[in-house]
Structures are given as structure tokens and as C-alpha cells.
Amino acid sequence: MTSNCRGIGWITGIVLTVLLAVSSTPNRSAAVVYDCQAEENRSKSTTVEIVLSQKWKDHVDEIKHALTSGQDAVKVRVRFFPFLDPPANIGIGQCVTAENGRRAIHEAIQYFGKVSYLIRQDILPHHWIKIGSTDTAELAWTPIKSDDLTQLSDPALTTEQFQILYRQLAAPKERKLPFGMGSEPIEGQP
């Protein structure tokens, strides 16, 4: 029994030593940055996921055609909302081109009549566009004004300018408080 206790004590000592060494080492891990221009990422196609109301059920081919272009590889997934209308939101991943982003905004306005919210980019897959998303939390949606949406749809914007502006507009402006107690502005946000 004594040799068994010594073995457990020895293992416990090693585990504690390793834990102390790891916890006392400064954090050397850098945030992993996804490089859209890396060779293995450039060939990835954009996926558009759109959730529509039931009234568009007979227009799937027309919708898919409107969201694709001849020069880019774009996959379109169409789903239908079981109730009246899905939320009027749009999310654009960080590797989506400005052309595909503008087309998605245009088609979202076409099928929803408006775009009321942008989805935070940090929770989206890099090569995805989500229109009428019902699988993202409402806390990740930021209201957008029509003037800002017009600015985002400007054809003069390069992909880099489009992505920077999207991230600025989709950044949360307020922090929701728990239990329906309202919200408070985030410091540094207008």
C-alpha cells in the first residue's frame, strides 16, 4: 500500500509541476488570423444561405440565379421560414468579395423589402453570406440605418473597403443587460 501511495504522490507532483509551469508562462499564443488571400483559401467558393417566407416557394430557381454570378463560384442554399416572415438581417463573412456582398444586399432588399440588421462578422463562417438568418442569436445583430446600407452598397468600394465598412457598421453599439433590464452603450462607440 505504501508503494502505491508513493506512486500516486509522485504523479500528483509531476502534474502540479506541469500546471505551475504552464500557468506561470506568459501567454505566447497569438490570435489565429484567417488569411483570405492564402492560396488554399482563394479557391473556396462563397456560400449564400437565404431563409425566405413561404410566398417565394415557387421561385427557387429565380432566386438562385439572382444570387450567383458567372465569374464567381457561389453556392446558394434556400430554406423557407415556417411562419410569416424571417428576420430582415444579413451577415457577410470576411472573405466575401464586395461584388458578392452588394449583390446579396440587393437581393435581400428585393425579397424582404428591407435590411434592418447586420450580423456580427466574428460569428460567421469566412466565406458565407447569411440572409434572413434564424440560426444566429439576436444579440449578434446590429441595427442598420438605410443611409449606412446605401453607403455599404456603393459600387465604388473595393473588397477591402467594403469589409472594413461592414465590420464598423456591424459592431455592437450597446451591451444588452440580463433579464430584460435594458442596455448600456459600449465605450468608444457613437
Task: Map out the domains of the chain as residue ranges.
Answer: 39-172
- Which of 111, 119, 126 has its CA nearest to residue 103? 111
170 near 153, Cβ under 8 Å?
Answer: no
- Which of 97, 141, 102 has its CA nearest to residue 120? 141
**Residues 7, 38: Cα–Cα separation, whole Å:** 50
Q: At what angle do helices 98-112 and 60-67 cross, to 10 degrees?
A: 150
pLDDT in single tens digits along all 190 residues of the chain: 555 555 556 566 565 555 555 444 455 444 557 888 888 888 889 999 999 999 999 999 999 988 886 656 889 999 999 888 999 999 999 999 999 999 999 999 999 999 999 999 999 999 999 999 989 888 899 999 999 999 999 999 999 999 999 999 999 887 777 787 877 887 765 5
| Structure confidence at residue 43 (pLDDT) | 83
| Structure confidence at residue 130 (pLDDT) | 97
- Which of 92, 174, 72 has its CA nearest to residue 133? 92
CA dihedral (116, 119, 120, 126) positive or negative: negative
